[in-house]
Amino acid sequence: MAGCFPSLNGCERADDMAEEEQQENIDEIIRKIFSTRGFDVRNYRTSDLQRRIGRRMDVLDISSLTEYSEYLEANPNEYEALFNTILVNVTRFFRDPEAWSFLEENILPDILKEKDEIRIWSAGCSSGEEPYSVAIVLAEMLGDNLYGRAIKLYATDIDETALRLARSGTYRLDQLTGLSEDMRNRHFSRHGDLYTIDGDIRRLIIFSRHNLLSDPPMSHIDLLICRNVLIYLDQALQSRIASKLQYAVRDTGYLWLGKAEMSITGIRGLKPLNTEWRFFKKIRSSTYPQYSDETHTGHDARPGLMNTNGNPGEVTQETRMGIIILDKVLNVVMCNQIAGEIWGLQHEELLGKPFPSLHISYCPVDLRHRIQKAAASGEPLVVDDVEHWITKERRIYLRIEIIPVASQIMIFLEDITELYEMRWELQTTNRALEAGTERLLSANEELKVSNTQLQYINEELKSTNEELEATSQEQISRIAELSKLNQHYEKALSSIDLGIIVADTDLLVRAWNGAAAHMFGKSEDEVKGKHLVTLDIGLSPDQLAGIIKTGEPVTNTLEFLDQRGGKSMADISIFPLMDGVSEDLPLNEAEGLVLVVKGKNSL
């Protein structure tokens, strides 16, 4: 096969590169993957990486790693194909039906009974079949009550391409083989050859990109599903992720693991519920041995207690946890190097000494009565988040487990500082988010109130505007009427053969008709607004003022100069100008004078 090399498929090549050069090429490819995709595959098992790279080389008919590295450089799209080959997204709906039946009958009913708000995390969800299967089971169990429950189903993966497929919720018929026809018809809609998940099911799931190694884990999870996600990672990386998975699950929460996750040494404090399908329940108050192929033999299956020869001394030095073993009278019979480093003591200072007489038995936390309690009950006991100062400058947090085994007591010391700080940061972040949410809700309420007030003001403005428009129309109509009346008034004055003069209470001329202009030789424009007395038409100011004051009309003969400059005589009648005659308006409240002049022959 063209793409094979010895460590991949065992094929012989005449031009086989040296092992060192081969490793350099693999390292270069790994570096390029990290720089282009931001995902570090250095902790993947080398043999698996070589096999996946060889598979792509076979597809492309490339015979050497050097040539494939050059091909990657020239064809950037190949990175995505290689990345997806390394991740190996293998999933389907309701994979292992018996396991799903156990979940539906034994796990989910307990979760639904205990809590109204349910948090489920499908880690490594690939193209979404697994989280959609969980959502369908919940929909089948709850029916119409599904939408009355606060269900948050988180589905995460590092492969953005797979997540895009998952978010679409659209699959081919051959991808739905795990579903019955009846279930498919209830929860999917068909569009040609494709089937799309029901919108109500889709809204239960939150898909997001998440790196189990570098990103903080979820928290307070009721059910965590991680099935064969870590199969291609080396043991060190698996253990780091395992501690995060353990943190993510709430106390008394559930884990559903795959075969690959069962060999991880970092997952502890789990009670096996179904060893065939690997369902576990997290227990805070006591720690159960992790399931392995030896569980049924009666031996403690905790990794790192005993090697194949049954000698605990060798393994206690290999494990990364501090371990102290006490005999039946609580003398220290075994202690590994890490435990000595944590307590700041040498082996010689611990071995053979009665543990209760050592200061480490009560500092930083009292272990003596806890050891007695564990020994009396025969049950493991856990103390979490123990603050311990190794030096004045260095502080760590410990998880201490006390496990009675036969006639001995085993004390495990695990440094959980990283998890503790991560949890603290998450709590701080959550508090900040909650405070921010409260501020946003408050601001939103204020905006709603302001919006209501603005709507009210807007309604008032509309009402006022309508009133103004109505008033404006009335005013326009009145002005038109007044203009018409004024025209009739002017025509009436012009048609009268008598001189008509109207003056206000200050004796200023307000009206002067054509007959008056002909008699006195002055046009209306010349006299309007001027004082009657200044016109020199023979009128007495006192007489005029008296008429305004008394309201009594006066008739008299007037001598004046006509328009030709000759003297003329005229009869003049002066009447008070009244607004009306009624009980509310006395006769002596004149608003001016009306002078009616009838001309006589010239003198």
Q: The sheet that has 117-123: what strands, in order across it?
A: 205-209, 150-157, 117-123, 221-226, 249-257, 279-282, 270-274
Those residues whose C-beta lies under 8 Å from the C-beta of residue 341, and which sit 6 or more positions away, are 322, 390
The pLDDT score that the predictor gives to residue 21 is: 64
* Of the candidate ranges 138-142, 497-501, 534-538, the one whose mean pLDDT is the lowest: 534-538
The pLDDT score that the predictor gives to residue 36 is: 57
Task: Round to whole Å and give the CA distance between 251 and 430.
Answer: 19
Rounded to a whole number of angstroms, the CA Rg of the chain reads 51
Distance of alpha carbon 121 from the chain centroid: 19
pLDDT digits (tens, 9 = 90+) for 552-578: 788 878 777 666 667 778 888 888 887
| Amino acid sitting at position 158 | I
pLDDT digits (tens, 9 = 90+) for 431-473: 888 888 888 888 888 898 889 889 889 988 998 998 898 888 8
DSSP state of 212: T
Task: Round to whole Å and give the CA distance between 208 and 424.
Answer: 23
- In this structure, are residues 118 and 151 in contact, taking their beta carbons and an 8 Å threshold? yes
pLDDT digits (tens, 9 = 90+) for 49-92: 777 788 788 888 888 877 887 888 888 777 767 766 665 555 78
The pLDDT score that the predictor gives to residue 170 is: 93
pLDDT digits (tens, 9 = 90+) for 350-390: 888 898 888 888 888 888 888 988 888 888 888 888 888 87
The pLDDT score that the predictor gives to residue 34 is: 54
The pLDDT score that the predictor gives to residue 17 is: 45
The answer to whether residue 197 scores a pLDDT higher than 80 is yes
Share of the chain above pLDDT 70, in %: 76
* Of the candidate ranges 28-37, 240-249, 282-291, the one whose mean pLDDT is the lowest: 282-291
Nearest of 559, 539, 549 to residue 599 by alpha carbon: 559
Task: Round to whole Å and give the CA distance between 129 and 95.
Answer: 9
Task: Round to whole Å and give the CA distance between 266 and 240.
Answer: 7
pLDDT digits (tens, 9 = 90+) for 401-430: 888 877 788 888 888 888 888 888 888 888
| Amino acid sitting at position 127 | S
Q: If you count DSSP H runs as helices and E runs as strands, how many of each does the chain have, helices first?
A: 20, 20
The pLDDT score that the predictor gives to residue 131 is: 96
Nearest of 500, 511, 497, 498 to residue 575 by alpha carbon: 500
pLDDT digits (tens, 9 = 90+) for 134-170: 999 999 999 888 877 889 999 999 888 889 999 999 9
